[in-house]
Amino acid sequence: MKEAHLNEELDKRIKKVMPFRFMDPAPSDFLLERSEILLFDKGEVIIRQGEVNQSFYSIVEGNISVSINNENGKDSYICSIGKGEVFGEAGMFLKVPRTANVVCSDVTQVVMIPRISILKLIREFPWARLPVCHLSF
């Protein structure tokens, strides 16, 4: 995993993905400034089942594979998620162990948004809570 630096091109791509695409510029910029842009190689693990992490992720580029550890200790494939989609949103709202593994299917760039950043966003821009609340559905 590497941290990416925001530039004009990346900013434009991020503004097209959830939750940024439904926000006005001021709250969108506020949230992005309090988030991390991460680049993962193919095969890298973003989330491990059982860990506690109160961030959620928005995929800017690439694809991920979601799986769970079955009772035999092997991975059971659940689904694939791609560009423009989000994952890990339940972990943002609840302090519970992650229920699945998330592994990059190819080189993947994500915006990691910590829970504290969402709370600050809602306090600063109360009207911006609607795009965030839709993440849980």
Residue 136 lies in a domain: no
| Amino acid 134: pLDDT | 54
Other CB atoms within 10 A of residue 130 CB? 11
Residue 135 lies in a domain: no
Residues 6+ apart with CB under 8 A from 70: 76
Q: What are phi and psi of 95, to 5 degrees?
A: -95, 75
Residue 20 lies in a domain: yes
Count how many domains the chain has.
1
Summarize the confidence of residues 89-111 as an average pLDDT: 90
Q: Which residues of 81-100 are buried (b: 16+ CB within 10 A; e: fewer)?
A: beeeebbbbebbeeeeebeb
Q: How confident is the model at residue 1 (pLDDT cuts 50, 70, 90)?
A: confident
Range of the domain at 96: 2-125
| Amino acid 64: pLDDT | 98
Average predicted confidence (pLDDT) for the chain: 88
Residue 134 lies in a domain: no
For the entire predicted model, the pTM comes to: 0.87
Other CB atoms within 10 A of residue 127 CB? 10
Residue 110 lies in a domain: yes
Q: How far apart are CA 53 and CA 92, in angstroms?
A: 8
Question: Residue 82 sits in a domain of what CATH number?
Answer: 2.60.120.10
